Amino acid sequence: MEEKNLWAYFISCYREKFSCFKGRARRKEFWGFCLFFFLFEVGLYFLLEQYPNVFLLLNLILSIPFVAVLSRRFHDVGMSGIWSFVFILAFPIKFFAKELLKFGGRIPTAYVVGSAILSVSLTVLIFYLFSRTCKEGDSCSNKYGEDPKGDDEEDNPNEMLDHKGEHIEEISTPTNEIEQKRSDS
């Protein structure tokens, strides 16, 4: 299987996997997508700075593949895709909680304390979920699908090689020969 580059992963997320929330995404696919996605987001922001409503609408549409690849990335480490929505929603909730803290004495103390606790909790959650996207995925199939890296012979721990590095089908030992004779008779 030919190895994709980061740009190819980005393009495949928009062409083939636009709203695909099933399966798994390896780190290279996720971070390749993120790199170009955020570069395009910054460019789009500067192009549409005068039209915030158009920017918001395009941003919502173009963010679907981001949520999808994030969901597949969580699948690769054995987590539910629902965490991708928690990750995405944590940012505006954290912003709202931070804005409540600015009002200080004008709102009841309970709201301020609650907002502070919520803000800190969401920060910890965001860092935890971010760390999961950096973690290597499950090396075997899990309930979300096969390993996206594929079955590379180099990574197969059950493969037997001789002293030259060539693949050995089965090692012939006296025990194997005796078992073979027993099964023949």
The more confident residue out of 53 and 171 is: 53
Is residue 157 situated within a structural domain?
no
Looking at every residue in the chain, the average pLDDT score rounds to 79
Is residue 176 situated within a structural domain?
no
Tally of domains in the chain: 1
Yes or no: say if 33 and 72 are a contact pair by the CB < 8 Å rule: no
- Sequence-distant (≥ 6) Cβ neighbours of residue 120 within 8 angstroms: none
Q: Which pLDDT tens digit goes with each residue over 99-144?
A: 766 765 566 777 767 777 877 888 888 888 888 888 888 888 888 8
Is residue 180 situated within a structural domain?
no
Is residue 167 situated within a structural domain?
no
Is residue 178 situated within a structural domain?
no
* pLDDT at 85 (0 to 100): 87
Is residue 138 situated within a structural domain?
yes
3-state secondary structure 64-129: HHHHHHHHHHHHHCCCCCHHHHHHHHHHHHHHHHHHHHHCHHHCCHHHHHHHHHHHHHHHHHHHHH
For residue 22, CA distances in Å to 17, 37, 70, 144 come to: 9, 20, 11, 7
Confidence of residue 153 (pLDDT cuts 50, 70, 90): very low
Mean pLDDT of 29-34: 91
For residue 2, CA distances in Å to 49, 149, 164 come to: 40, 11, 26
Is residue 172 situated within a structural domain?
no
Is residue 177 situated within a structural domain?
no
Q: Which domain holds residue 30?
A: 6-152
* pLDDT at 39 (0 to 100): 93
Mean pLDDT of 60-66: 89
- For residue 76, give the nearest of 28, 17, 23 by alpha carbon: 23
* pLDDT at 152 (0 to 100): 45
3-state secondary structure 123-164: HHHHHHHHHHHHCCCCCCCECCECCCCCCCHHHCCCCCECCC
For the question of whether the overall pTM of this predicted structure is more than 0.75, the answer is: no
